Amino acid sequence: EGRSAVLNSRLDGKRGVVFVARDMTDLKQAEEDIRFRAYYDSLTHLPNRVHFLESLSDAIVRARRTEVMTALLFIDLDRFKNINDSQGHHRGDEMLKEVAKRLKRCVRSTDTVARLGGDEFTVVTPDLTNELHASKITETILEALSQPYDLFGQEIYASASIGITICPTDGDD
């Protein structure tokens, strides 16, 4: 941040310029950190519940105004508590990070993958032209999440359950 001012000397009529600068890097970084923490999950770096609700609201508004659909997928990892308890929280956290990566690889760049908390994830897929696209995404996700997880040299197998709702077909609120 910088400011400048022109100075006129009353004594000898000379003019000068004063410039004061301040490094705002730390302040800007702190603001970005706060914004990130408000909208993103600290473990997976996926959008969090707040960000998800905003994305969902935007997608529903768009679906109401246009002829396209929005699908909402709710994903829960089956028996994740057992994995967390038997393998330890560190391995459980690594698995959640890997789940996040796999989910992101399964969807379009315009879709929102979010972590609501624990082992609960959501995907908002706006601008669908037919319901089959949501089914295909769901199948792709189930296949990706059923592949073994390599957690520190140990293979872990898991599965997921997915619920789907489509706006406006199933409702629009």
Per-residue pLDDT of 97-140, as tens digits, reads: 999 999 999 999 999 999 999 999 999 999 998 888 999 999 99
Whether residue 11 is found in the same domain as residue 52: no
Question: Which residues make beta-bridge pairs with 8?
Answer: 15
Whether residue 47 is found in the same domain as residue 20: no
CA distances (Å), 160 to each of 64, 65, 95, 100, 154, in order? Answer: 30, 33, 13, 13, 20
Domain count within the chain: 2
Whether residue 20 is found in the same domain as residue 92: no
- 85 lies in some domain: yes
- In whole numbers, what is the pLDDT of the chain averaged over residues? 89
Across the beta sheet with 69-77, the strand order is 112-117, 120-128, 69-77, 160-167
Identify the domain containing residue 93 by its residue range.
Answer: 41-167
Whether residue 45 is found in the same domain as residue 93: yes
- 172 lies in some domain: no
pLDDT of 45 reads: 96
Catalytic residues: 119
Can you state the percent helix, strand and coil of the chain, rounding each to 5?
45, 30, 25
Task: Kindly state the tokens that stand for 136.
Answer: 């295909």
- CB-based contact 42:48 (threshold 8 Å): no
Kindly report the pTM of this predicted structure: 0.80
Whether residue 20 is found in the same domain as residue 51: no
Positive or negative torsion for Cα 99, 103, 104, 105? positive
Task: Kindly state the tokens that stand for 160.
Answer: 């997921």
Least confident piece of the model among 11-15, 56-60, 94-98 = 11-15
Looking up residue 87, the CATH number of its domain turns out to be: 3.30.70.270
Whether residue 7 is found in the same domain as residue 73: no
pLDDT value at 11 more than 80: no
Whether residue 67 is found in the same domain as residue 27: no
pLDDT bucket at 173, cuts 50 / 70 / 90: low
- 36 lies in some domain: no
Of 170, 149, 150, which is closest to residue 159 (Cα–Cα)?
149
Q: Which spans in 16-172 are helix H?
A: 25-39, 49-65, 80-87, 89-106, 131-146
pLDDT value at 47 more than 90: yes
- 68 lies in some domain: yes
Residue 75 identity (one-letter amino acid): I
- 173 lies in some domain: no
